[in-house]
Amino acid sequence: MVTGMALVDAIREERTEPPSGIRTLGLDATHRWLRSVEPGHVVLDWAVDDAYLNLEGAVLCSWMSALGDQALFFAASTVCGEGEGTRMAEFGVRLLENITAGTVAIEARIVRRVGDRLFGECSFTVGDDVAALMTATIEVVPA
């Protein structure tokens, strides 16, 4: 068994395969977007891809939810001990402004751990403007 930080390192170094669901959702390259990884905190950079735009030319909210979930997985994993994994229990996304182009900085952090629950937040920033916020409750489960 490995710690969560060791798992994130293995994913970043491509020494382990992502789960099939991650490949199905098209999130299997997100580890390459990681700019910074610290215990309880990660930053990813995503260049907006036209494949994820709605009819009005803005990023689909469901795609942002998937990206936030993935970023929070990385952040949560970094605070898990040996034999611990994570499972998203609940999340909410608030879109403050449409994201239409550019590079999005996705910053996820674990705010607190209480027993087997992690409380996290994730922000989506374009330039100097926060465009969306996500909050989450994450269960710590046996790996």
Domains in the chain, CATH or no CATH each: 4-142 (3.10.129.10)
77 Cβ contact partners less than 8 Å away, ≥ 6 residues apart: 4, 5, 7, 8, 85, 86
Give the pair of three-digit tokens for residue 80: 């898990």
The neighbouring-strand residues paired with 53 are: 59
pLDDT average, residue stretch 33-48 = 96
Q: How confident is the model at residue 1 (pLDDT cuts 50, 70, 90)?
A: low
- Map residue 86 onto helix, strand or coil: strand
Q: pLDDT grade, residue 23 (50/70/90)?
A: confident
